[in-house]
């Protein structure tokens, strides 16, 4: 199956440009920081990191819909096919069209607000932003409250259990991480 990505037309697309693994962490744009941090903490070793992921869709229409979901004019985007060797990518396919629609978003936010809110509220701002897995593990191991939160979050979250690690035949969001030495290209439609 093919994967598609909509990118701004203003980003000078060169059909010959090759994209490789990203070393920098991205900040979440459609999921709260807290939820994104929990998902990164719970991520299995065989799954792509959302922190270094490229987001895609199984259809050109869904790619355009997701790219312009934040209110941008769809005419400002061009849909491209992602061209890559499957061995170069770690792929996850969600059962929802966008991660922001996953049940974990509300579930995790409600749990933290109800059960652990005061402990997270006391964290410095930089720890509430995008943290590394190691930083979150340090927090969760540091206190009795953190250790209880760690177990509850593992039991509560279904994000990685719901994800499939190959492309499926449904309209769920795809995201992938480029493996070391791997690459992909965008072929405008």
For residue range 74-109, list pLDDT tens digits in order.
888 899 999 998 889 999 999 998 899 999 999 988
Mean pLDDT computed over every residue of the chain: 83
Q: State yes or no: pLDDT of 125 exceeds 60.
A: no
- The pLDDT tens digits of the residues spanning 25-55 come to 777 778 888 888 889 889 999 999 998 999 9
DSSP class of 114: I
Q: Exposed (0-12), middle (13-18) or buried (19+): which is 108, by Cβ within 10 Å? A: buried
Please give the C-alpha separations between residue 91 and each of 24, 38, 163, 174, 179, in angstroms, as whole numbers: 19, 19, 9, 7, 10
The label of the residue with tokens 């965008």 reads 186
- The pLDDT tens digits of the residues spanning 108-123 come to 888 877 765 555 556 6
DSSP3 helix / strand / coil % (the chain, rounded to 5):
40, 20, 40
Alpha helices in 43-165 (DSSP H): 60-67, 103-111, 117-121, 125-128, 133-142, 144-156, 159-162
Cβ-based neighbour number of residue 15 at 10 Å? 10
- The pLDDT tens digits of the residues spanning 134-174 come to 666 676 777 666 777 778 889 999 999 999 998 788 889 99
Please give the C-alpha separations between residue 8 and each of 64, 98, 155, in angstroms, as whole numbers: 10, 19, 39
Comparing CA positions, the residue from 89, 100, 86, 108 lying closest to residue 42 is 108
């Amino acid at each position: 199956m093919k994967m598609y990505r909509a990118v701004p037309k203003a980003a000078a697309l060169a059909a010959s440009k090759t994209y490789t693994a990203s070393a920098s962490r991205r900040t979440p744009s459609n999921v709260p920081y807290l939820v994104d941090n929990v998902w990164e903490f719970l991520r299995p070793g065989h799954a792509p990191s959302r922190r270094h992921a490229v987001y895609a869709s199984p259809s050109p229409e869904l790619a355009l819909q997701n790219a312009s979901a934040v209110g941008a004019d769809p005419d400002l985007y061009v849909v491209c096919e992602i061209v890559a060797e499957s061995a170069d990518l770690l792929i996850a396919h969600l059962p929802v069209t966008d991660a922001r629609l996953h049940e974990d978003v509300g579930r995790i936010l409600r749990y933290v607000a109800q059960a652990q809110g005061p402990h997270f509220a006391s964290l410095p701002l930089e720890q509430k932003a995008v943290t590394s897995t190691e930083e979150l593990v340090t927090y969760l191991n540091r206190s009795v409250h953190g250790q209880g939160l760690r177990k509850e979050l593992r039991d509560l979250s279904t994000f990685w259990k719901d994800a499939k690690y190959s492309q499926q035949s449904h309209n769920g969001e795809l995201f992938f991480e480029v493996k070391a030495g791997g690459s992909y290209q965008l072929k405008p439609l």
